[in-house]
Amino acid sequence: MESVQAIKQRFGIIGNDAVLNRAIEKAIQVAPTDISVLVTGESGVGKESIPKIIHQLSHRKHGKYIAVNCGAIPEGTIDSELFGHEKGAFTGATQTRSGYFEVADGGTIFLDEVGELPLTTQVRLLRVLENGEFIKVGSSKVQKTNVRIVAATNMDMFDAIKKEKFREDLYYRLSTIDIHLPPLRDRKEDIHLLFRKFASDFALKYKMPTIKLSDDAIAMLLKYRWSGNIRQLRNVAEQISVLEHKREISADILRHYLPDNGQNLPAVISSAKKESDFSNEREILYKVLFDMKSDLNDLKKLTMELMQKGNTQDVQKDNQGLIQKIYGEDDETKKEELEVLSLPEESTQPVEIVNTQDKYHFAEEIEEEETLSLHDKELELIKKSLERHNGKRKLAAAELGISERTLYRKIKQFDL
């Protein structure tokens, strides 16, 4: 069995954190078996390294290794991608296609962002885990596959189970072994080490001298929160390497590359509270929109009566009732201001309708205005949520109470 240090050198893993070392130890121990593994940790901590270690140290190392980003595949095609489809199974299926579970038979499949899988796909995956069986889309023939599944997620899986977005039985089947990778802010001693490694790599890549941090810059580097973890640190190292002419980087220079400088962080608000607050706002908005729709329908009805019957007493009564409904009975000031809306009593003759098609055309125009109003409100909500989260679709989707795929479709639909 290879040592942790040898594995880190082999797979280019930098750091001496105890929790990181323990995660690698668990990967080495579980690799010779066929046990399912779930890798957890925040986005950007390097979860993709663990399934590679497990595959290369297993008896499947000569088989296929396929990494699948479940969050990047549209909901309508993910079953076809994973399990394949028969010719004619759906529009565009011009030929039979083998899915990843058929192609990787005898090897390993890494399911990244497994928490993003639709519930219907989760049922199919559970069947593969339990007895190695799957059915292609559009087929009734049961096929066998012998694959090892390693999954990864940055989600709180228990919260997803509670909200019925992830199956509890699938979670326990996937997480026979749970390997957790720590966030970069908990690996203080590794931060400068990683930065130096990235700086050296970019110096070779761009053929320029290596950047170095001053003592005050190192202190700032260690103090920063690194919400994007190793991915963010690498990005900062690359930006500085390319953009700065000086090779000695001070704290003042570094500060420009660290958003908010790790200070004045917003207060932590539980996801349940955020979702509750937004849900309340959404309910209020829906109520306003439905009330508007009801008022418009009443207005359409009144207009049609006026066109057909003329300004009769019944029409006058309906008009006053509509004003009271919209503006309330107690607000006398508003009613006085809106007396101009009352219909003139002189007009008692019905309005002649020359072409009955005009009536329906008029109704269609009002209906179109209603639809546009709903469209605008939805567009406004999506824009505000994306701005609030600096364009991060995952956070915006969570706030809006929709899946990331649905938000992606809305962004394309509205051309945002």
Q: CA angle, corner 398, sides to 396 and 404, nearest 5? A: 75
- How confident is residue 387, by pLDDT bands cut at 50, 70 and 90? confident
Q: Which residue has the tokens 């945002």?
A: 416
pLDDT of 146: 96
Does residue 284 surpass a pLDDT of 50? yes
207 assigned to some structural domain: yes
Establish if 144 belongs to a structural domain: yes
Mean of the pLDDT values across residues 43-55? 96
Is-above-0.75 flag for pTM?
no
Closest CA relative to residue 145, chosen from 153, 154, 136: 136
Element (H, E) at 80: helix 78-83
232 and 126 within one domain: no
Residue 302 lies in a domain: no
Count of beta carbons in the 10 Å neighbourhood of residue 149? 22
The Cα 359–Cα 200 span in angstroms is: 75
List all residues 6 or more positions away from 264 whose beta carbon is below 8 Å from its beta carbon.
Answer: none
Q: Taking Cα atoms as reference points, which of 37, 33, 34, 9 lies closest to residue 23?
A: 37
Residues 153 and 197 in one domain: no
Q: Are residues 56 and 16 in the same domain?
A: yes
**What was the pLDDT predicted at 309?**
65
Residue 321 has pLDDT above 80, yes or no: no
Residue 344: the pLDDT is 53
| Tokens at 292, concatenated | 């508007």
One domain for residues 210 and 175: no
Q: What is the CATH number of the domain that holds 206?
A: 1.10.8.60
For the chain, how far is it from start to end, CA to CA, in angstroms?
A: 52
Average pLDDT over residues 2-17: 94
Within this chain, do residues 167 and 199 fall inside the same structural domain, yes or no?
A: no
What number is the average pLDDT over the span 376-383? 80
Q: Residues 78-101: what's their mean pLDDT?
A: 93
pLDDT at 251: 95
Residue 385 pLDDT level (bands cut at 50, 70, 90): confident
* Pick from 218-222, 251-255, 321-325: least confident: 321-325
Among 213, 240, 262, the domain-final residue is 262
Give the whole-angstrom CA distance, residue 207 versus residue 309. Answer: 85
Q: What does the alpha-carbon distance between residue 396 and residue 130 come to, in Å, rounded to a whole number?
A: 35
Q: Stretch 100-104: mean pLDDT, rounded?
A: 96
Q: Which of 141-145, 280-284, 358-362 has the lowest mean pLDDT?
A: 358-362
Question: Picking from 39-43, 249-253, 371-375, which range would have the lowest pLDDT averaged per residue?
Answer: 371-375
Inter-CA distances, 63 with 58, 76, 147, 174, 279, Å: 10, 29, 9, 21, 48
CB atoms within 10 A of CB 287: 10
Who's near 220: CB < 8 A, 6+ residues apart?
Answer: 251, 254, 255, 258, 261, 262
Given a cut of 80, whether residue 167 has pLDDT beyond it is yes
Q: What is the residue-averaged pLDDT of the chain?
A: 83
> Does pLDDT of 278 surpass 80?
no
One domain, residues 82 and 173:
yes
Higher pLDDT residue, 342 or 222? Answer: 222
How far apart are the C-alpha atoms of 51 and 30, rounded to whole Å? Answer: 11
Same domain membership, residue 165 and residue 146: yes
Average of pLDDT values for 175-194? 96
pLDDT band at 246 (very low <50, low <70, confident <90, very high): very high
- Residue corresponding to tokens 């203080």: 188
What is the per-residue pLDDT for 255? 95
Q: What pLDDT shows up at residue 369?
A: 46
Side-chain half-sphere CA neighbours of 97 within 13 A: 20
Angle, helices 271-309 vs 313-327, to 10°: value is: 170
Domain presence at residue 312: no
Residue 32 sits in the same domain as residue 135? yes
Phi, psi of 131 (to 5 degrees): -140, 10
CA 158, CA 337: separation in Å to the nearest integer? Answer: 56
Residue 185 CA, chain-centre distance (Å), reads: 24
Q: Compute the distance between CA of residue 257 and CA of residue 409 in angstroms, rounded to an integer.
A: 32
pLDDT value, residue 270: 52
- What pLDDT was estimated at residue 300? 74
CATH number where 121 lies: 3.40.50.300
Q: Is residue 12, in this structure, part of any structural domain at all?
A: yes
Which two three-digit tokens encode residue 119?
A: 């519930």
Residues 169/129, Cβ–Cβ less than 8 Å: no
Query: Do both 36 and 170 map to the same domain?
Result: yes
Q: Is 109 helix (H, G, I), strand (E, B) or coil?
A: strand
Tell me whether residue 238 is in a domain: yes
State both tokens at 54: 């497990």
Tell me which of 182, 199, 215 is where a domain ends: 182
- Nearest CA-CA partner of 241 in 217, 214, 220, 213: 213
Whether pLDDT at 297 is above 80: no
Residue 265 has pLDDT above 70, yes or no: no
Question: Domain range holding 107?
Answer: 4-182
**366 pLDDT tier (thresholds 50, 70, 90):** very low
Question: Hey, is 155 helix, strand or coil?
Answer: coil
Contact 139, 87 (CB under 8 A): no
What is the Cα–Cα distance from 118 to 150, expressed in whole angstroms?
A: 18
Residues 101 and 162 reside in one and the same domain = yes
In a domain, 299, yes or no: no
Distance of CA 60 to the CA centre of its chain: 33
Cα 82 versus chain centre, distance: 20
Is 155 in the same domain as 217?
no
Same domain, 140 and 201: no
Structure token digits, residue 115: 């928490």
Residue that finishes a domain, picked among 262, 284, 312: 262
At residue 377 the predicted structure's pLDDT band, cuts being 50, 70 and 90, is confident
The answer, yes or no, to whether residue 332 has pLDDT greater than 60, is: no
Structure confidence at residue 61 (pLDDT)? 96
Q: Does a structural domain hold residue 194?
A: yes
Domains in the chain: how many in total? 2
The type of residue at 244 is E
